[in-house]
Amino acid sequence: MTSVVVIDYGSQYTRLITRRLRELHVYSVIVPPSVTLERIRALDARAVVLSGGPGSVYATDAPGLPQGLLGSGLPVLAICYGMQLLALELGGEVRPSPTREYGKAVLSHYEGILFDGIEGEFVAWMSHGDSVERLPAGFATVASTADTPVAAMEDPRRRLHGLQFHPEVRHTPKGVALLERFLDEAGIARDWTSEHIIDQAVDDVRTRVGDERVLLGISGGVDSSSLGLLLHRAIGQRLVAVFVDTGLLRLGEAEEVERALRGLGLDLVVVDASERFLRALAGLIDPEAKRKAIGKAFIEVFAEQARVLQDVHGDIRFLAQGTLYPDVIESAGADGAATIKSHHNVGGLPDDLAFELIEPFRNLFKDEVREVAESLGMPKHLRERHPFPGPGLAIRCLGEVTHERLEVLRRGDDVFMSSLREFGLYEETWQALAVLTPLQSVGVMGDGRTYANTVALRAVTSVDGMTADWARLPHDFLATVSNRIVNTVPEVNRVVYDITSKPPGTIEWE
Ligand code: XMP
């Protein structure tokens, strides 16, 4: 697969560059500054993007360019820190600006290859302390702003382009056009589509798996369910899919997922392990203890099933996992270390169950998985569900998790979710949830005094869950949801709405 390699110098926007390129149907990967030219070639790169970064190119430990990159003939798009690095490396001069420029700027003029075809005012998002003061030989200035004489530079002969601003962010509205021009100039085909992703993943799985079998644990979430559909397409009945129902999903969700997957031809082994999970959670209050107990129970149930299924089907050689690209990115920030969320990992299986791992989604972002899911026929309301934590409702049931308390939470949550959908607000929020708090208080209903539970509602807007703001849901809508919950869930007499952003709050209450 041809690619565009993005070298990560630590900018908060690096992932966004890769996302934008992929939205333009070009496969793009992130690598740390320690990458070698050999590795870049092994990734079949047709162009390289240098990201921005928080530091100065003059800092003592400033990360540099891979040796040989600039002589390799590969087209380079250098952004912000990347552009300064490029300038410095080729004999130009970079200077600290008297003031740090941050925010929107308007280009006073623009020309050159990347701007070809762009018309009208060009708003550029700036965030830099240093600026290019003198161009390296062979370069021309192709854009300026009032504060930044060299806002863009290019050397068309060597196909080297520098942008002092960030074309990847929405605050640079015409930025995507620059990325498109860069791809066109580099002669890169835009064929990374979900159909293509699926075809390739199917081929890869078939080659790797041969005539063997693959075991997959399905949690009910989008990733593992989509993976089930993909593997089913690749190897049909040789996929052994186990749906472990923890009893911690939303109201009706387990049944709905099962029905949808069966409807698409996936033959699932469904294990109702809800009693088991409740037993494992008995008496636990601390969220980390809950997570651990759930992880352990999941492994146990899964291992038991794996043994039973080995007896039925004979040897199962592979284990599939829905690991996604954000879990494996090697970036400047992560210092080359792959971080894997433990709940995603069916690691920790006993030694007699030694599988070879296959991870067909390890190159994909979440929304690419959703597109794949669409192409594979998963219904919209399932594939476009909000993120949902692996430990499920257990971490939204504050205090002890019991069958009764889970039921109260599930019903309150269902009122909130179905109301969001009914009022067209579900898609406007990034994630929404109900929490059953451990708080009881006095209320009055009819002629009687009540003493019952408080449910907290939380809805947030976010891009990736790392930061979030509380969603400004209309007051009338919140009033409706509150009434509906109190009227239909007798164990609840009070509903509150969480108005904390993240940070300082987290999305989950736990
Ligand atoms: P927080 O609460 O940390 O959550 O702001 C950020 C995002 O991560 C999800 N989350 C989890 N997902 N296992 C998961 O699979 C977990 O233990 C877990 N804790 C939080 C949360 O729902 C939100 O989308």
For residue 390, tell me if it sits in a domain: no
Which atom of ligand 1 lies nearest, measured to the CA of 468?
5
Amino acid letter for position 319: L
Low-confidence ranges of the chain (pLDDT < 50): 335-345
The pLDDT of residue 342: 39
* 507 alpha carbon – ligand 1 mean position (Å): 7
Smallest CA separation from ligand 1 atom 3, residue: 506
Nearest alpha carbon to residue 322 among 297, 301, 340: 340
| Residue where a domain terminates, one of 124, 155, 186 | 186
Ligand 1 pocket check for 287: Cβ under 6 Å: no
| Residue where a domain terminates, one of 165, 186, 207 | 186
* 468 alpha carbon – ligand 1 mean position (Å): 12
- Residue 324 token pair: 């996604």
Ligand 1 pocket check for 508: Cβ under 6 Å: yes
| Residue where a domain terminates, one of 142, 163, 186 | 186
Which atom of ligand 1 lies nearest, measured to the CA of 390?
15
- Residue 253 token pair: 């969700």
Q: Is 110 helix (H, G, I), strand (E, B) or coil?
A: strand
**Secondary structure of 218-273 as H, E, C letters:** ECCCHHHHHHHHHHHHHHHHHEEEEEEECCCCCCCHHHHHHHHHHHCCCCEEEEEC
Query: With contact defined as beta carbons under 8 Å apart, do 347 and 295 qualify?
Result: no
Q: Given the structure tokens 């592979």, which residue do they identify? A: 318
For residue 388, tell me if it sits in a domain: no
Ligand 1 pocket check for 467: Cβ under 6 Å: no
For residues 100 and 248, membership in a common domain is answered with no
Which atom of ligand 1 lies nearest, measured to the CA of 509?
2
For residues 340 and 235, membership in a common domain is answered with yes
The pLDDT of residue 101: 80
Ligand 1 pocket check for 292: Cβ under 6 Å: no
Nearest alpha carbon to residue 228 among 271, 273, 258, 193: 258
Amino acid letter for position 262: R
DSSP 8-state symbol, 386 = P
Query: With contact defined as beta carbons under 8 Å apart, do 323 and 390 qualify?
Result: no
* 398 alpha carbon – ligand 1 mean position (Å): 15
Cβ-Cβ contacts under 8 Å for 486 (sequence gap 6 or more): 445, 492, 493, 494, 495
Query: With contact defined as beta carbons under 8 Å apart, do 480 and 419 qualify?
Result: yes
For residues 368 and 226, membership in a common domain is answered with yes
- Residue 39 token pair: 């590795």
Ligand 1 pocket check for 464: Cβ under 6 Å: no
Query: With contact defined as beta carbons under 8 Å apart, do 406 and 414 qualify?
Result: no
Select which of 101, 128, 161, 166 is catalytic.
Answer: 166
For residue 507, tell me if it sits in a domain: no
Which atom of ligand 1 lies nearest, measured to the CA of 386?
24
Q: Is 461 helix (H, G, I), strand (E, B) or coil?
A: strand
Ligand 1 pocket check for 392: Cβ under 6 Å: no
CATH number at residue 271: 3.40.50.620
Whether residue 397 lies in the annotated active site: no
96 bridge partner residues: 130
For residue 247, tell me if it sits in a domain: yes
- Residue 8 token pair: 């990560």
Full residue range of the structural domain in which residue 236 is found: 194-383
The pLDDT of residue 335: 44
Q: Is 189 helix (H, G, I), strand (E, B) or coil?
A: coil
- Rounded Cα distance between 43 and 363, Å, is 12
- Rounded Cα distance between 387 and 406, Å, is 19
Amino acid letter for position 93: E
Residues belonging to the chain: 510
For residue 508, tell me if it sits in a domain: no
Q: Is the peptide bond before 490 cis (omega within 30 degrees of 0)?
A: no
| DSSP codes, 419-440 | HHHHTT-TTTSSEEEEEEEEEE
- Testing ligand 1's pocket by substitution, the residue of 298, 413, 508 carrying the most ligand atoms inside 8 A of its CB is 508
For residues 352 and 427, membership in a common domain is answered with no
Smallest CA separation from ligand 1 atom 19, residue: 389
Structural domains in the chain (count):
3
Return the C-alpha torsion angle 433, 438, 444, 445, nearest 10: 50
- Rounded Cα distance between 474 and 407, Å, is 27
The pLDDT of residue 344: 40
Smallest CA separation from ligand 1 atom 4, residue: 507
Whether residue 253 lies in the annotated active site: no
CATH number at residue 453: 3.30.300.10
Smallest CA separation from ligand 1 atom 11, residue: 389
Smallest CA separation from ligand 1 atom 18, residue: 389
Pairing of strands 431-445, 468-470: unpaired
Q: Is 108 helix (H, G, I), strand (E, B) or coil?
A: coil
CATH number at residue 159: 3.40.50.880
Smallest CA separation from ligand 1 atom 9, residue: 389
* 430 alpha carbon – ligand 1 mean position (Å): 13
Amino acid letter for position 451: Y
Query: With contact defined as beta carbons under 8 Å apart, do 83 and 153 qualify?
Result: yes
For residue 506, tell me if it sits in a domain: no
- Rounded Cα distance between 157 and 141, Å, is 14
> Considering Cα of 96, then 97, then 102, then 105, what sign does the dihedral take?
negative
* 98-108 confidence digits (pLDDT tens): 777 889 999 99
Select which of 101, 154, 168, 185 is catalytic.
Answer: 168
What pTM was computed for the model?
Answer: 0.87
* 328-378 confidence digits (pLDDT tens): 887 665 543 333 333 444 567 888 888 999 999 998 988 899 999 999 999
For residues 298 and 412, membership in a common domain is answered with no
For residues 334 and 416, membership in a common domain is answered with no
Cβ-Cβ contacts under 8 Å for 315 (sequence gap 6 or more): 212, 213
Whether residue 80 lies in the annotated active site: yes
* 465 alpha carbon – ligand 1 mean position (Å): 8
For residues 237 and 327, membership in a common domain is answered with yes
Smallest CA separation from ligand 1 atom 21, residue: 389
For residue 394, tell me if it sits in a domain: no
For residue 198, tell me if it sits in a domain: yes
* 291 alpha carbon – ligand 1 mean position (Å): 11
- Rounded Cα distance between 110 and 33, Å, is 30
Which atom of ligand 1 lies nearest, measured to the CA of 506?
5
Query: With contact defined as beta carbons under 8 Å apart, do 234 and 209 qualify?
Result: yes
For residues 61 and 131, membership in a common domain is answered with yes
For residues 322 and 419, membership in a common domain is answered with no
For residues 160 and 264, membership in a common domain is answered with no
Cβ-Cβ contacts under 8 Å for 6 (sequence gap 6 or more): 14, 17, 18, 21, 28, 29, 30, 31, 48, 49, 51
* 427 alpha carbon – ligand 1 mean position (Å): 19
Q: Is 347 helix (H, G, I), strand (E, B) or coil?
A: coil
Instruction: Give me the phi and psi of 270, to 5 degrees please.
Output: -100, 125
* 434 alpha carbon – ligand 1 mean position (Å): 14
For residues 13 and 153, membership in a common domain is answered with yes
* 428 alpha carbon – ligand 1 mean position (Å): 19
106 bridge partner residues: 123
Cβ-Cβ contacts under 8 Å for 223 (sequence gap 6 or more): 322, 324, 361, 366, 369
For residues 365 and 267, membership in a common domain is answered with yes
H or E element: which one contains 288?
A: helix 287-313
